[in-house]
Amino acid sequence: MVSIYSITNQKGGVGKTTTCVNLAASLAATKRKVLLIDLDPQGNATMGSGVNKYELTYSSYHLLTQKVAITDTVIKQTSAGYDLIPANADLTAAEVELMKKPSREIKLRQALKKIEEQYDFIFIDCPPSLNMLTLNSLVASKGVIIPMQCEYYALEGLSALISTISGLNQTLNPDLHIQGILRTMYDGRTALTTEVSKQLINHFGNKVYRTVIPRNIKLAEAPSHGVPALHYAKKSRGAVAYIALAGEIIRRQEKNRKIPKRKQLKSGIVKKSNKQPLSRTSTTLETEH
Ligand SMILES: Nc1ncnc2c1ncn2[C@@H]1O[C@H](COP(=O)(O)OP(=O)(O)OP(=O)(O)O)[C@@H](O)[C@H]1O
Ligand SMILES: [Mg+2]
pLDDT in tens, 108-163: 999 999 999 999 999 999 999 999 999 999 999 999 999 999 988 888 778 899 99
Tell the residue nearest (CA) to atom 5 of ligand 1: 220
Domains parsed from the chain with CATH numbers: 3-288 (3.40.50.300)
pLDDT of residue 49: 98
Of 11, 17, 161, 224, the residue with max ligand 1 atoms within 8 A of its CB, to mutate for a pocket test, comes to 17
Q: Which atom of ligand 1 is nearest to the CA of 238?
A: 1
Phi-psi region of 223 (alpha: psi -120 to 50; beta: other; left: phi over 0): alpha
Q: Ligand 1 in contact with 137 (CB < 6 A)?
A: no
Q: Which atom of ligand 1 is nearest to the CA of 19?
A: 18
pLDDT of residue 205: 95
Q: What is the DSSP letter of 179?
A: E
Q: pLDDT tens per residue, the chain (289 residues)?
A: 899 999 999 999 999 999 999 999 999 999 999 999 999 999 999 999 999 999 999 999 999 999 999 999 999 999 999 999 999 999 999 989 998 888 999 999 999 999 999 999 999 999 999 999 999 999 999 999 999 999 888 887 788 999 999 999 999 999 999 999 999 999 999 999 999 999 999 999 999 999 999 999 999 999 999 999 999 999 999 999 999 999 999 999 888 877 665 555 554 444 444 555 444 334 233 222 2
Alpha carbon of 12 to ligand 2 centroid (Å): 7
pLDDT in tens, 56-65: 999 999 999 9
Alpha carbon of 19 to ligand 1 centroid (Å): 8
pLDDT of residue 115: 97
Cα–Cα distance for residue pair 272/275, rounded to 1 Å: 8
pLDDT in tens, 257-272: 776 655 555 544 444 4
- The percent of residues above 90 in pLDDT, for the chain, comes to 80
Main-chain dihedrals φ then ψ at residue 117, nearest 5 degrees: -70, -10
Q: Ligand 1 in contact with 50 (CB < 6 A)?
A: no
Q: Ligand 1 in contact with 213 (CB < 6 A)?
A: yes
Q: Ligand 1 in contact with 40 (CB < 6 A)?
A: yes
Q: What are the start-end ranges of the H helices in 122-236? A: 132-140, 158-170, 191-204, 217-221
Which residues, 6 or more positions from 286, have their beta carbon under 8 angstroms from its beta carbon?
none
Q: Which atom of ligand 1 is nearest to the CA of 217?
A: 4
Tell the residue nearest (CA) to atom 9 of ligand 1: 15
Q: Ligand 1 in contact with 44 (CB < 6 A)?
A: yes
